Structure 1
Amino acid sequence: MKQHVKTTLLVLAFGLASMPALAQDTTTDTTPDTATTDTTVTTQNDDNGTDWGWLGLLGLAGLAGLRRPAPTVVHRDQTAPPR
Structure 2
Amino acid sequence: MKRETKITLLALMLGVASMPALAQDDTTGTTTETTTTQTTQNDNGGMDWGWLGLLGLAGLAGLRRKEPTVVHQTTTNQTATPR
- Which gives a bigger RCO, structure 1 or 2 (Cα 8 Å, sep 6+)? 1
Report the structure number with the largest CA radius of gyration.
Answer: 2
What's the TM-score once normalised by structure 1's chain length? 0.40
